[in-house]
RNA sequence: GGGCGCAUAGCUCAGUUGGUUAGAGCGCACGGUUCACAUCCGUGAGGUCGGAGGUUCGAGUCCUCCUGCGCCCACCA
């Protein structure tokens, strides 16, 4: 049926075939009917869709492993589990990739024209868009690939359009002016993410604006007698677009001027003086020039005070016709020089300061971004935010770690309208048409493309050239992927979904908006739990990124260490809500332990299978009467581990789930149970004992593989498939659809006995090590005063214990009247342990060795104490040196007493 | 500037509502190849839990302040 386990653990040999088998057998497919008709409990995760152009990085590795662990675990619990995959069309990112591509052919998008360019992008996406989904397979993600979605596919585009029109009809979408980031070289709008702030050495120009309105007597005056105020700016050329100056309402220096007027130099326009909290009285002169068309803050302020805007630049950032003629056509930086020179000439330039500040640059061409006023589409967010806020407050949506709840609430409480239009070609075209009939001018948002104007019947219709923000399709993802706006069986079965696993960076962009859309269009939250992962960083704490070149390629890790090692590593690195640190230059440090664990599982499995042989194995129930202490103990520990891992997963404590499985398998099953049953496995004399051990071994291995399967699906399946089914039981087809271990109860008595026994073995090993007892020599151990638990345990497991600490016998007998030499220890339960060492080690030699050691320590201690006893030393030496000496003395005294005790034991 | 978080072994981190002796992995030291595994086994060293106060019978855990890092948001014209 299945091949035996190879001598060497080789992940590459098992992973791909197993994944293919799982996928072919349809284990990952979720069936809506089983939920809708049979009443099975669903469990749903929709993937945060990666950019269609992206390749797998460690962040995906972390994220999707967590999602897969949750999915696999719930699937094993009997839920109808759906892990729904897909990709995002990622407007700007994708358009840029293709623009770079055609630049290689010497083409720009304008050369191609909109239609042809978009076709090129589709070509590209069709060819490369499944890369990342393939990569998710290689880390074992159990996605239902029959439901793969893409945000720009026709069904989802229909959802986007339906949503736009509905919101438009509810008057929740409107058109308005907004300052955007504009690259004057690329001639395109940039998202906030693409405008990269950079510390730049600039200048702060202090410019005098003559006051024409109300004047107080103590105001400074120009040489010609005119009073003035000083404003500070880093971009003097924009003053030509000033439409006001502003002061803080509580700034006593200027209260008298509020409502007054100043004269804008060079342009000779009068500007009003307004008061606004935005102004920081501490900065510069406390007076701000207001240029609404070229600064987002000024724009907001102007909106509050109903101040007009004057745009003074062309798209390529030259001065336009709104400025005095002598500046027209000058590039913005030439204009800056000209403006400054003229101000200086007029005596209006008070001073210039060096000023380092952060300036946004175009991430593509590094040109300084110019804020620019333009007309954009917006969503009114307040009405949508209310139910989303209620959802976190009433617990319908829970955030893990909990602290994110506050962050989420704060953002929603101060929500601002959402600018959804983008000046791009790749994306969902805004479904708005303008009637160009001069007498009509109707604006319409439509579900179907119009052929004529419904108002005037005219046929000169023009569609809005812009596309929608990428997030305008992603915020519908949890239900658009299930078939909305149709009422599908999938929607009925799988909405709302359950866990959303994503990075905190997109809490606002995406998570909050999905919750709003869920309530608005489905009447319920889109998921019940939001798990925010940490960020994957390098050892210097820098975020892993392609541009920094400090990334780790998950596929490289898979090929070097295996997918299971990768998964184990990321899962066990996920502290509760903390970032994940990995060293790109030392993969072994990060992934070695995971690989070693896999190796341990593999070898323990091989050992078990070798010993089990081909004979039928009994169920644990069938051999219940013959179970020995070790058997009862490991069964109880399996139960503890199951409860532990289950509890950890329920609380999204992945680190603990991984540690729990690891500790049970390695620290208890492999280190202790396998060692304890070695003598029994091939025992021909005592069949009952042998069969009890085998039955228990199969049972606990089966349980351990189940517990570890969500985290390490491949190796656990490979081993599990080869485990024999106990007589009279039917084996499940695969662990993927196998059941999660259920609690069967603890055996406190067995655990207490085993704990005592393990302590005894540890103590004997310690003494052997400390007294340099040669590994080969066997000794008799004497034990007195042991409790019933230990006594029983010793009787039950004598053979194994003797083997495990290389003793011939453990007798109940006291050390005889001081005559014996040997090593001595007291156990926690009060039992007294004595290892006679006469004839085992050269006692005299050991005594001399210890004696020399003791002398050496005492010598050092004398020196140290002498120093500490000297007033000169304690008074004059630096405090940290004195402290170090004290520490040293403490440690030396410690060593001395231990050595003395040992020597005493030797006679 | 506003908000949030972190500080525990040489390194990376656990430590659940306060409660026996603060744990793990890696690294380090010593000893081990008897046939599951040297990607292993055994043993050990190493911690005034960032600092100072406070609450308490009891504080790594709760409170206040300080110091040093990190992140998010808004960014000072």
pLDDT of residue A217: 67
- Asked whether strand B has any atom less than 7 Å from the CB of A416, the reply is no
CA of A764 to C1' of B32 (A): 16
Chain B nucleotides near the protein (CB, 7 A):
3-6, 12-15, 21, 24-27, 30-34, 36-37, 39-44, 46-48, 69-77
- In the complex, which nucleotide's C1' lies nearest to the CA atom of residue A773? B31
A377 forms beta bridges with A175
Between A855 and A759, where is the model more confident?
Answer: A759
- Asked whether strand B has any atom less than 7 Å from the CB of A9, the reply is yes
CA of A761 to C1' of B32 (A): 17
- In the complex, which nucleotide's C1' lies nearest to the CA atom of residue A543? B71
Between A735 and A180, where is the model more confident?
Answer: A735
Name the strands in the sheet holding A432-435, side by side, starting at the edge strand that comes first in the sequence. Answer: A443-445, A432-435, A461-463
**Contact yes or no for A14/A714 (Cβ under 8 A):** yes
pLDDT grade for A373, boundaries at 50, 70 and 90: confident
- Asked whether strand B has any atom less than 7 Å from the CB of A286, the reply is yes
3-state secondary structure A617-634: CCCCCCCHHHCCHHHHHH
- Asked whether strand B has any atom less than 7 Å from the CB of A599, the reply is yes
> In the predicted model, what is the mean pLDDT of residues A709-721?
95
- In the complex, which nucleotide's C1' lies nearest to the CA atom of residue A286? B77
> In the predicted model, what is the mean pLDDT of residues A596-622?
92
Rounded Cα–Cα distance for residues A160 and A484 (Å): 10
A354-385: b (≥16 Cβ within 10 Å) or e:
eeeeebbbbbbeeebbbbbbeebbbbbbeebb
CA of A735 to C1' of B39 (A): 26
pLDDT of residue A819: 61
> In the predicted model, what is the mean pLDDT of residues A580-604?
86
pLDDT of residue A214: 63
CA of A569 to C1' of B24 (A): 14
Between A893 and A810, where is the model more confident?
Answer: A810
pLDDT of residue A874: 62
**Contact yes or no for A714/A742 (Cβ under 8 A):** no
CA of A63 to C1' of B50 (A): 32
pLDDT of residue A794: 86
CA of A382 to C1' of B19 (A): 49
A 133-162 residues, CB < 7 A, strand B: none
pLDDT-above-90 percentage for chain A: 38
CA of A765 to C1' of B46 (A): 21
- Asked whether strand B has any atom less than 7 Å from the CB of A366, the reply is no
Which residues neighbour A347 within 8 Å (Cβ) at sequence distance 6 or greater? A208, A222, A223
> In the predicted model, what is the mean pLDDT of residues A544-566?
81
pLDDT of residue A118: 92
Rounded Cα–Cα distance for residues A805 and A801 (Å): 6
A 774-793 residues, CB < 7 A, strand B: 775
Between A815 and A516, where is the model more confident?
Answer: A516
Rounded Cα–Cα distance for residues A848 and A857 (Å): 14
| Torsion on CA atoms A398, A400, A401, A406, rounded to nearest 10 | -30
- In the complex, which nucleotide's C1' lies nearest to the CA atom of residue A576? B14
pLDDT of residue A354: 79
pLDDT of residue A465: 92
- In the complex, which nucleotide's C1' lies nearest to the CA atom of residue A601? B37
Rounded Cα–Cα distance for residues A662 and A217 (Å): 81
Rounded Cα–Cα distance for residues A359 and A539 (Å): 29
pLDDT of residue A1: 40
For the cut 90, the answer to whether the pLDDT of residue A26 exceeds it is yes
> From the C1' of B35, which residue's alpha carbon is nearest?
A607
pLDDT of residue A860: 67
- At A57, list the tokens: 């990085």
- Asked whether strand B has any atom less than 7 Å from the CB of A655, the reply is yes
State pLDDT tens for residues A193-218.
667 777 677 788 999 999 886 666 67
Q: Which of A319-333, A464-478, A853-867, A872-886 has the lowest mean pLDDT?
A: A872-886
Between A542 and A831, where is the model more confident?
Answer: A831
Interface predicted TM-score of the whole assembly (ipTM), two decimals: 0.92
**Contact yes or no for A183/A241 (Cβ under 8 A):** no
- Highest-scoring range by mean pLDDT, A283-287, A307-311, A699-703: A699-703
**Contact yes or no for A423/A315 (Cβ under 8 A):** no
State pLDDT tens for residues A668-681.
999 999 999 998 98
pLDDT of residue A483: 94
A 532-561 residues, CB < 7 A, strand B: 539, 541
- Asked whether strand B has any atom less than 7 Å from the CB of A311, the reply is no
CA of A245 to C1' of B59 (A): 57
A347: left (phi over 0), alpha (psi -120 to 50) or beta: left
Mean pLDDT of chain A: 86
For the cut 70, the answer to whether the pLDDT of residue A895 exceeds it is no
- In the complex, which nucleotide's C1' lies nearest to the CA atom of residue A247? B77
For the cut 60, the answer to whether the pLDDT of residue A880 exceeds it is no
3-state secondary structure A734-797: CHHHCCCCCCCCCCHHHHHHHHHHHHHHHHHHHHHHHCCCCCCCCEEEEEECCCHHHHHHHHHH
pLDDT of residue A893: 67
**What's the residue count for chain A?**
907
pLDDT of residue A815: 64
Contacts by residues A765-772 (CB-CB < 8 Å, ≥ 24 positions apart): A765/A805, A766/A825, A767/A823, A767/A824, A767/A825, A767/A833, A767/A835, A768/A805, A768/A806, A768/A835, A770/A823, A770/A902, A771/A823, A771/A835, A771/A837, A771/A841, A771/A846, A771/A902, A772/A841, A772/A846
- At A228, list the tokens: 């003035």
């Amino acid at each position: 049926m299945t091949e035996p386990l190879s001598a060497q653990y080789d992940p590459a040999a098992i992973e791909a075939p197993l994944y293919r088998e799982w996928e072919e057998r349809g284990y990952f497919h979720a069936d809506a009917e089983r939920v809708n008709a049979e009443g099975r409990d669903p469990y749903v995760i929709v993937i945060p869709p990666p950019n269609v152009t992206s390749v797998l990085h460690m962040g995906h590795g972390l994220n999707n492993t967590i999602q897969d662990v949750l999915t696999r675990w719930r699937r094993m619990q009997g839920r109808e589990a759906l892990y729904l995959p897909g990709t995002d069309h990622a407007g700007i990112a994708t358009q840029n990739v293709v623009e770079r591509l055609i630049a290689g052919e010497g083409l720009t998008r304008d050369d191609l024209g909109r239609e042809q360019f978009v076709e090129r992008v589709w070509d590209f996406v069709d060819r490369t868009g499944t890369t990342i989904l393939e990569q998710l397979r290689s880390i074992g993600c159990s996605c239902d690939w029959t439901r793969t979605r893409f945000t720009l596919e026709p069904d989802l585009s229909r959802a986007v359009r339906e949503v736009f029109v509905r919101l438009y009809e509810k008057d929740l979408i409107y058109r308005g002016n907004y300052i955007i980031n504009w690259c004057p070289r690329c001639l395109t709008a940039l998202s906030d993410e693409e405008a990269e702030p950079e510390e730049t050495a600039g200048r702060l120009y202090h410019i005098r604006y003559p006051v024409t309105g109300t004047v107080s007597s103590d105001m400074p005056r120009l040489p010609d007698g005119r009073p003035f105020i000083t404003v500070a700016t880093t971009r003097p050329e924009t003053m030509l677009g000033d439409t006001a100056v502003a002061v803080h309402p509580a700034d006593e220096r200027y209260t008298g001027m509020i409502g007054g007027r100043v004269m804008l130099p060079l342009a000779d326009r009068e500007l009003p003086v307004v008061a606004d909290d935005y102004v920081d009285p501490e900065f510069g002169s406390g007076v701000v020039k207001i240029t609404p068309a070229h600064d987002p803050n000024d724009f907001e302020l102007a909106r509050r005070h109903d101040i007009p805007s004057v745009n003074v630049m062309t798209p390529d950032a030259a001065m336009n016709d709104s400025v005095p003629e002598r500046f027209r056509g000058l590039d913005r930086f030439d204009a800056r020089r000209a403006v400054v020179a003229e101000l200086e000439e007029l005596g209006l330039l008070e001073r210039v300061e060096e000023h380092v500040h952060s300036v946004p640059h175009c991430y593509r061409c590094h040109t300084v971004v110019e804020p620019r006023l333009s007309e954009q589409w917006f969503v009114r967010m307040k009405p949508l935010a209310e139910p989303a806020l209620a959802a976190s407050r009433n617990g319908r949506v829970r955030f893990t770690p909990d602290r994110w709840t506050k962050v989420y609430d704060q953002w929603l409480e101060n929500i601002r309208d959402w600018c959804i239009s983008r000046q791009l070609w790749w994306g969902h075209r805004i479904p708005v048409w303008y009637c160009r009939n001069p007498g009509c001018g109707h604006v319409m948002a439509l579900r179907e493309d119009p052929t004529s104007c419904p108002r005037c019947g005219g046929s000169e219709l023009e569609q809005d050239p812009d596309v929608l923000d990428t997030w305008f399709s992603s915020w519908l993802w949890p239900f658009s992927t299930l078939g909305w706006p149709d009422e599908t069986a999938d929607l009925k079965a799988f909405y709302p979904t359950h866990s959303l696993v994503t990075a905190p960076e997109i809490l606002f962009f995406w998570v909050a908006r999905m919750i709003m859309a869920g309530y608005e269009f489905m009447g319920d939250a889109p998921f019940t739990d939001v798990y925010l992962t940490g960020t994957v960083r390098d050892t210097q704490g820098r975020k892993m990124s392609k541009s920094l070149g400090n990334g780790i390629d998950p596929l490289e890790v898979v090929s070097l260490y295996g997918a299971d090692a990768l998964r184990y590593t990321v899962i066990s690195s996920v502290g509760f809500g903390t970032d994940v640190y990995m060293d790109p230059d030392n993969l072994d440090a990060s992934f070695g332990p995971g690989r070693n664990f896999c190796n341990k599982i593999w070898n323990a499995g091989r050992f078990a299978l070798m010993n089990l042989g081909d004979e039928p194995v009994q169920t644990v129930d069938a051999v219940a009467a013959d179970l020995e202490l070790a058997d009862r103990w490991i069964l109880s520990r399996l139960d503890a581990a199951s409860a532990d891992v289950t509890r950890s997963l329920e609380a999204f404590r992945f680190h603990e789930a991984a540690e729990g499985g690891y500790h049970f398998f390695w620290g208890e099953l492999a280190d202790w149970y396998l060692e304890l049953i070695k003598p029994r496995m091939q025992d021909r004399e005592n069949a009952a004992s042998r069969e009890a051990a085998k039955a228990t071994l199969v049972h606990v291995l089966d349980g351990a593989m189940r517990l570890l399967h969500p985290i390490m699906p491949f190796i656990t399946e490979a081993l599990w498939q080869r485990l024999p089914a106990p007589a009279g039981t039917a084996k499940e087809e695969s662990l993927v659809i196998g059941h999660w271990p259920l609690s069967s109860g603890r055996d406190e008595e067995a655990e207490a006995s085993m704990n005592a026994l393990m302590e005894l073995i540890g103590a004997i090993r310690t003494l052997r090590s400390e007294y340099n007892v040669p590994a080969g020599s066997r000794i008799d151990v004497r034990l007195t005063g042991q409790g019933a638990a230990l006594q029983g345990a010793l009787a039950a497991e004598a053979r194994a214990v003797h083997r495990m600490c290389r003793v011939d016998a453990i007798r109940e007998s006291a050390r005889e009247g001081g005559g014996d030499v040997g090593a001595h220890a007291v156990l926690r339960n009060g039992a007294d342990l004595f290892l006679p060492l006469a004839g085992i080690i050269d006692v005299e030699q050991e005594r001399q060795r210890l004696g020399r050691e003791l002398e050496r320590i005492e010598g050092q201690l004398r020196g140290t104490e002498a120093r500490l006893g000297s007033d000169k030393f304690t008074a004059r030496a630096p405090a940290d040196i004195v402290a170090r000496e004290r520490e040293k003395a403490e440690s030396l005294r410690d060593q001395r007493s231990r050595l003395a005790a040992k020597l005493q034991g030797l006679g």
